[in-house]
Amino acid sequence: MIMEDRMAHGHEDETVLVTGGTGYLAGWVIAGLLQRGYRVRTTVRSLGKAEQVRAAVGERAGAEAAGTIEFAVADLLSDEGWDGAFEGAHYVIHTASPMPFDPGVDLITTAREGTRRVLGAAARAGVKRAVLTSSGITAGAGDSGTPATETTYAEPSGTPAHAYPDSKILAERDAWELATATGLELSAVLPTFMQGPPLGARNGAGTTDVIRRLLAREIPAVPNIGWNVVDVRDVAELHILAMTNPAAAGQRFLASGSFLWYRDIARILRDKLPDEAAKVPTRTMPDIIVKLLARRNPQLAMVRPQLGRKRLVDNSKARTQLGWQPRPTEQTITDTAAVLTAKDSASR
């Protein structure tokens, strides 16, 4: 049935290169493309990761479709392999980027050099369009009452604690400069805080660790911080819309849902999953404790400036211009928790 659906879309002659095939978002992007009938090639740093990717994508697209995925070996910090990865490609969706707190990784150098390599190779290959996974933090905003929009650009802080946000800001800036210089048709998707079911055997995928830690009762109280939560499945859908919709050429699109405080996420879990989340903490950790812990914890150090701050994000551009429809955030939280719980039980 899945293969019949793929062929019915008529994209079997078009190849999409998705960078960073082992990633949280990439798996959902690849699955969505396969379900629409595209041929998919993805980059990995080692071919030993191929079966991991196929198994993860197969959870959504089916094993037969996942078996058609092509693989190319390429690294963001090396020129080798990129031109070959683009051979015969019609589009590229560049999701690969270093994650915060990767040990020994220079986040800014890796993100910027990787973006230049990928988009430079895309321009040489003459792809129809490139879609860049940027971040909602690259859309600057004024005061706390002014929603962030795609018309504004954040400035890098230049501080070590904010190397990850700076890496996204600078990499997107490089992408637009390269597109202008080469004539590459580019779109950018700016996700906020991604949650949603992780594909594959990994129990957790970076950002979903906030839910995993609540379920595992690893924290006694929740910091007074919050996020604009968006479902990874909806972010993947927006990437594909940005790749195919003529209106997306040369545009940025914020992928954002509703704002939730950390305590709101805890309450949703307790309300919707009373058995699994009965002991999830809902009391708020005093700010002074967070600030003290941030001296030794790089994750808390990065979010410390956000204590008590609610950031508004306007996602109307994606909805009105591309017809994007994000799902309710409560559904995202409960679906994430359900999958994390099931994967945790299966791994025991």
Residues taking part in catalysis = 168
Q: At what angle do helices 163-182 and 107-125 cross, to 10 degrees?
A: 20
Q: Which of 343, 131, 85 is nearest to 255 (CA)?
A: 131
Burial tier of 194 (Cβ tally within 10 Å: 0-12, 13-18, 19+): buried
- Alpha-helical (H) ranges within the chain are 2-8, 24-35, 50-61, 63-66, 82-85, 107-125, 163-182, 209-215, 232-244, 262-272, 287-293, 298-303, 316-322, 329-347
The two tokens of residue 113 are 């050099």
Is residue 300 within 8 Å of residue 294, measured between CB atoms? yes
- CB-based burial, 48-65: b 16+ in 10 Å, e otherwise: ebbebbbebbbbbbbeeb
Q: How many whole angstroms separate alpha carbon 262 and alpha carbon 267?
A: 9
